[in-house]
Amino acid sequence: MRQLFAEEKLKPLLIKLAMPLFGELENTLVMKPLLSLKNIMFKPSQYYIMRLDNLENLKALPTVTDYHVRTYRSGDERAWVQLIKRSFGQYFPDKVAEICRNKEFDPNGCFFLKHDHEFVGTVYAMQTQFQGVKTGCIHRLCVVPEHRGKRLGHFLALYALNYFRKTGLQSAMLDVNENNDAAIKTYASLGFKPI
């Protein structure tokens, strides 16, 4: 594959040109583009849909020292995009502007984890319909690489679940890349099961 793109300077241009072709796949639950700096080819990836049927018996929210959570504020879009790209990869398609423009966008359900004055993690706790019932949906949960391994993803997921419970929801769901073993393990530890 490397022989196809021997000229390293062409990679960013080729990716930029290819992005519109794959943008629509990003929102499907079955196929999503996986991008990496090592391999610029788009690969279909299987996503698991996981569900937590009962939000009544959630684990206690752990204390995380040197970090604090705050909700979305107007003007956070640029920092949110940078956070997503640092976490998922530079060429990961972001939909932040689209999310913020959506009439269903709930700024009180969009959480940022900060360390000092820097965004280091995020989760968007949005509402959706599943089989005719309003349910919570954990969306765009990520932690930047240099802050991983501290159970911050677990903390953010639990934070979102507590938010769902406070707003009166009974259940939650999410989709997760089949290759993201750490995330699957985290969600399973919180009681999520594949559907």
* Burial of residue 136 (number of CB atoms within 10 Å: 0-12, 13-18, 19+): buried
For residue 29, give the DSSP letter.
S
- Of 4-8, 69-73, 146-150, 186-190, the poorest mean pLDDT is in 4-8
Question: Could you tell me which of 97, 34, 55 has the C-alpha nearest to residue 190?
Answer: 55
pLDDT over 70 (residue 25): no
CATH topology of domain 46-194: Aminopeptidase (3.40.630)
Please report, for the chain, the start and end positions of each structural domain, with discontinuous segments joined by +. Answer: 1-45, 46-194
Output the pTM of the full model: 0.76
Share of the chain above pLDDT 70, in %: 76
Q: What's the pLDDT tens digit per position in 141-152? A: 999 999 999 999
Q: What's the pLDDT tens digit per position in 94-124? A: 788 888 989 999 999 999 999 999 999 999 9
Residue 32, number of CB atoms within 10 A of its CB:
21
113: tokens are 């984890």
pLDDT over 70 (residue 19): no
- Of 19-28, 55-64, 148-157, 176-185, the poorest mean pLDDT is in 19-28
CA torsion sign for 53, 59, 65, 71 is positive
Residue 191, number of CB atoms within 10 A of its CB:
17
pLDDT at 45: 67
Whether the Cβ atoms of residue 72 and residue 110 lie closer than 8 Å to each other: yes
